[in-house]
Amino acid sequence: MKYSKIVKQIYEEDGTLVSKRLLLVLLVLLFNPEAYAQVQLTETQAGEAFKAGDYEKALKEFEILLEEYPENSVLILRYIGLSYHRLEQYDKAIDSYEKALEIDPQNTPVTFYLASTYFKTSNTIKAKELFQNVITLAPESLYSGWAERYIQAVEQQETVYERPGGPRLYQVFLQIAPQLDFNVPESPDNSSSFSDDESFRFTEYASLGIRTKQLGNWFLGADFSTYQSQNTKEELREFNLSTFDISPYINYTTTVFGKPFSPILRYNFNYALLDYDSYSNSHSISATLNTAFTENTLTVPFYRLRFDEFNDEGFDSSISSRDATNNAVGLLQYFFFMQRAVNVWVGYEFQKNDADGLNFNYNGHRVTAGVSVPIYWGIRTDLSGEFGRDDYPDFQGPRDRETNRGNFFGRITRNIKGPIYGAFSYSYTNENSNYSVLEFDRHIITWSIFLSY
């Protein structure tokens, strides 16, 4: 907007000079005249429509302003691009930004929004180049900070998320992880007594996932995995744990009312050894539904039926047997940001455990939350927490057993080269019970190197 038009804004309708507004205008004209033009732009019908989310109307009004005020075409073209972006008409948004850059090739905001639109269309090579230009043009600006975060997200996609050729027909995961446990459990499910001793141990985990090519709307697949741990202390080697899992599944994908809809039915068999002797086995059937109500969310309700069988029946099977039928129902909600490079999730689960032994009948509630985000130097951070409450209404004691459990988990991961990664993690568990003998704290520190392909 021409300065003569701007100066007119310092008068009210009755011609009275407003000193505060005059001071603001003079300061802006001296240091950043474009910022004042932007303020004025948002007060037009085009700006009001844009703020109200009526982008179709805003586009019509911006086109009128473009003809009326060609001296402010760069700013107006930026808002035209933003309007097209909000309407998900990305090609038209890119065209508007490029027209603006033809007029002002070093305009930082336009360069940033053009880069973010290329990012949205998955043209990460072009986006990364433009974000780097933003950092060069204005290294101390907010746009530069935002551009750095986008570049980190692009690099994370290049090393983790972007796999050419679509989903693989197989996935391999191998991990070796030295681990320091400050309270070694005496059972794989962490629910019985603890050794009250710390130990350094080595753990290994391997998994293989295979799936068919798409058969119409169907996928068939199976996952195979094993976990092994070896304590270095001689007196704790009886707590060495081995588990084996086999998990076939069937997946159907379709759309309902224009939204993706993907139910999965899965069977899992788990077999556990303690000190290489048979300890337990379980069979479970789970049904999950993956659906996205918006582009950047994923909603996952689920149900699971599990049958647990333990070799050790305890002192009296009617009281101490942990053989059980476990029903669980819950919901996980994911929120994605920056082209899914950042995700936040919350969840709730209810369990009802009907055991052969009265002491192990319980109703359980779990609330979980977590965030996964890329940070500086290609490092990804994962943080999660859980709070659980279990009530044992049939516990054979002077009062019913009640247990509150809190857990915190933190991990940092960085790509080393190709499919090889390194990670450091810390886990803390605190269990409080109205029976003090059942309370414990547990800290686990883990260093790991793994291959994910």
Instruction: State the pLDDT confidence band at 337, using cuts at 50, 70 and 90.
Output: confident
17-21, 75-79, 203-207, range with greatest mean pLDDT? 203-207
Is residue 94 located within the same domain as residue 184? no
CB 210 within 8 A of CB 176: no
State pLDDT tens for residues 386-420.
999 999 999 988 889 999 999 999 999 998 888 89
Query: Could you tell me the CATH number of the domain that includes residue 127?
Result: 1.25.40.10
Q: Final residue of a domain: which of 111, 134, 161?
A: 161
Is the predicted pLDDT of residue 355 greater than 80, yes or no? yes
Residue 175 CB: number of other CB atoms within 10 A?
18
Show the tokens assigned to 365. 């509630």
Q: Final residue of a domain: which of 107, 138, 161?
A: 161
Residue 150 CB: number of other CB atoms within 10 A?
22
Is the predicted pLDDT of residue 222 greater than 90, yes or no? yes
Alpha helices in 300-410 (DSSP H): 317-320
pLDDT at residue 34, as a whole number:
52
Is the predicted pLDDT of residue 193 greater than 60, yes or no? no
Instruction: State the pLDDT confidence band at 292, using cuts at 50, 70 and 90.
Output: confident
Is the predicted pLDDT of residue 289 greater than 60, yes or no? yes
CB 330 within 8 A of CB 347: yes
pLDDT at residue 317, as a whole number:
86
pLDDT at residue 404, as a whole number:
96
State pLDDT tens for residues 256-278.
877 788 899 999 999 999 888 99
Is residue 425 located within the same domain as residue 378? yes
Is residue 445 located within the same domain as residue 320? yes
Which residues, 6+ apart, have CB-to-CB distance to 415 below 8 Å?
159, 160, 378, 421
Is residue 362 located within the same domain as residue 429? yes
If one compares 37 and 225, the residue with the highest pLDDT of the two is 225
Is residue 369 located within the same domain as residue 439? yes
Could you tell me what percent of the chain has a pLDDT over 90? 43
Instruction: State the pLDDT confidence band at 167, using cuts at 50, 70 and 90.
Output: low
Is the predicted pLDDT of residue 228 greater than 60, yes or no? yes
State pLDDT tens for residues 372-381.
998 877 788 9
The total number of structural domains in the chain stands at: 2
Residue 372 CB: number of other CB atoms within 10 A?
18
- Quote the CA–CA distance of 210 and 225 in Å, as a whole number: 12
For residue 194, the enclosing domain spans 170-452
Instruction: State the pLDDT confidence band at 304, using cuts at 50, 70 and 90.
Output: very high
Alpha helices in 219-293 (DSSP H): none
Is residue 423 located within the same domain as residue 299? yes
Is the predicted pLDDT of residue 57 greater than 80, yes or no? yes
Is residue 303 located within the same domain as residue 432? yes
Query: Could you tell me the CATH number of the domain that includes residue 377?
Result: 2.40.160.40
Question: What's the mean pLDDT when you consider all of the chain?
Answer: 83
pLDDT at residue 156, as a whole number:
56
Instruction: State the pLDDT confidence band at 448, using cuts at 50, 70 and 90.
Output: very high
Is residue 83 located within the same domain as residue 18? yes
Is the predicted pLDDT of residue 187 greater than 70, yes or no? no
DSSP lists the bridge partners of residue 291 as 261, 299
The secondary structure of residue 342, as a DSSP letter, is E
> Looking at residues 8-19, what average pLDDT do you find?
39
Map residue 54 onto helix, strand or coil.
coil
> Looking at residues 342-354, what average pLDDT do you find?
96
Instruction: State the pLDDT confidence band at 428, using cuts at 50, 70 and 90.
Output: very high
Is residue 378 located within the same domain as residue 286? yes
**Can you give the pTM of this predicted structure?**
0.64
Range with lowest mean pLDDT among 12-21, 302-311, 324-333, 337-346: 12-21
CB 51 within 8 A of CB 39: no
Q: Final residue of a domain: which of 114, 138, 161?
A: 161
Instruction: State the pLDDT confidence band at 196, using cuts at 50, 70 and 90.
Output: low
- Quote the CA–CA distance of 249 and 67 in Å, as a whole number: 60
> Looking at residues 173-178, what average pLDDT do you find?
94
If one compares 354 and 240, the residue with the highest pLDDT of the two is 354
Is residue 66 located within the same domain as residue 92? yes
Is the predicted pLDDT of residue 165 greater than 50, yes or no? no
pLDDT at residue 157, as a whole number:
54
pLDDT at residue 40, as a whole number:
65
pLDDT at residue 202, as a whole number:
93
Is residue 155 located within the same domain as residue 187? no
Is residue 207 located within the same domain as residue 157? no
Nearest to 133 by CA among 100, 154, 111: 111
